[in-house]
Each structure stands twice: as C-alpha cells, then as structure tokens.
Amino acid sequence: VAATGETSKQLALRDPDVRLMLEVRDDKDGAFAEMVGRYQHRLVAVMHHLVGNAEEAEDLAQEAFLRVYRARKKYHPRSKFSTWLFTIANNLALNSLRARQRRPAVPLAVHDSGPLGPRPAEQLVPDPGTGPVQRVQKDELAAQVRQALETLNERQRMAVVLNKFEDMNYAEIAEVMGLTTKAVKSLLSRARVNLRAALLGYVSMQGEPVPEETEEE
C-alpha cells in the first residue's frame, strides 16, 4: 500500500493533470471546469477525426468528461492522466463507430461539418499563398483524406488518430486501447498501407518541393 501511495505521489508530482484530477476527485471548486477547459480542444478534435461528424464529436467528448466526473471517486493515478482520459474516450468512440456500422449513416462532407467546422470569419481568411483554385483543391483533398480514414476499421482509425494527432507513442496507444505494443505496431502498419492504397493518386501529387524557408539566423 505504501509503495502504491508513493507511486501515486510521484505520478501526481510529474503530471499536473493528475494533480488536477485528484482535485476533481476531492470536489475542489472549479477543478472539473478547469479540466474540461484544458482538455476540450484535444478531445473534440480526436473525436471529430474518429467519427467525422462535428455534433457527434462534441456529444462524445461531453460524454467522456461526464464519465470522468462520475468515476472521479474511484480515481487512482496509475499513469498519465491523458492516457486514462483517452481510454474512456476510446471505449466511447469504438462503441459509437460499431453502432454506426450496424446502422449505416451517410458521412458528412468535410466542408459541411456543422457548428464545429470553419466559422464564417475563418472561411474568409485567405489561405497564405493559395488562390481560390488551390483552396478548392485543398478542400477536395481534405474530403478524400477523410474518406480514406473512413476506409480503416475502427481500431486502425483510433491508433492512427492517437499517433498522428495526439502524438502518442506505441506504448501509450497500447495502454489506451488495451493492446500490446507489438499489436499497435502491426495495427499502424496495416493502417498506413490501407491509407496509402486509398490515397494513391494523391500521394504522387505531393511531389512538390518543400516551401522555401526563410532561414533563422
């Protein structure tokens, strides 16, 4: 027990989010709101990449936070807080995607992503260095990439999203998804091959030179 206590303490000292979660557990005023504020952008973004629908992404992210809140009294720090949070998010998202498979729905186009899509003012901001034609091409490409992501099975998609957008390493992904590191390696390899097959035409279009850099001194 002493050893577990010591480990928890060390983890809490290392990870400010663990400390915050312990405050949520202890019902400290404002702690849960702070946590939602701190993690909402990441969680909504991940959910959106997974389910492709802005409203559903926001609902799932809210549900994940509510589950954290309901489970707060049982919380014991064992690893990084984000790993625990994304484990909850993983379960929710996989359930949602599996339910959708049983009840197929037409995915929304990228440019029609509801209230979470680009806001009117953002849509008016000119994309640096690109004209309207390039912007249309970019939108089309985004739609193709979205479709390619949807060709992956839900576990491959989850691994890709956590690796690409959450910068999680294989060990962290394994912990979130309840897999071995070896299984994650295999999952990501197959996912990348599948993505390449779905985007083959666009991969060869990407042979343009890297934008010229203004050298730092």
Q: HSE (CB half, 13 Å, CA atoms) of 161?
A: 30
Which listed range, 4-12, 23-31, 90-98, 99-107, lies at the site for other proteins (CB under 8 A)?
23-31
* The only residue of 102, 128, 132, 133 in contact with other proteins, by rule CB under 8 A: 128
Name the residue among 41, 53, 28, 167 with its Cα closest to residue 108: 53
Token pair 């790993």: residue: 83
C-alpha 85/C-alpha 130 separation (Å) is 38
- Contact between 133 and other proteins per CB under 8 A: no
Q: For other proteins, which is the closer residue by CB, 15 or 91?
A: 15
* The only residue of 65, 92, 93, 158 in contact with other proteins, by rule CB under 8 A: 65
- Contact between 179 and other proteins per CB under 8 A: no
- Contact between 149 and other proteins per CB under 8 A: yes
- Contact between 154 and other proteins per CB under 8 A: no
The tokens describing 71, both together, are 């489970």
Q: HSE (CB half, 13 Å, CA atoms) of 181?
A: 5
Q: For other proteins, which is the closer residue by CB, 4 or 140?
A: 140
* The only residue of 145, 150, 151, 179 in contact with other proteins, by rule CB under 8 A: 145
- Contact between 54 and other proteins per CB under 8 A: yes
Which listed range, 6-14, 36-44, 88-96, 101-109, lies at the site for other proteins (CB under 8 A)?
36-44
Which residues does 83 contact at the CB level (< 8 Å), separation at least 6?
172, 175, 176
The tokens describing 128, both together, are 């640096």
Q: For other proteins, which is the closer residue by CB, 176 or 195?
A: 195
Q: HSE (CB half, 13 Å, CA atoms) of 170?
A: 10
- Contact between 146 and other proteins per CB under 8 A: yes
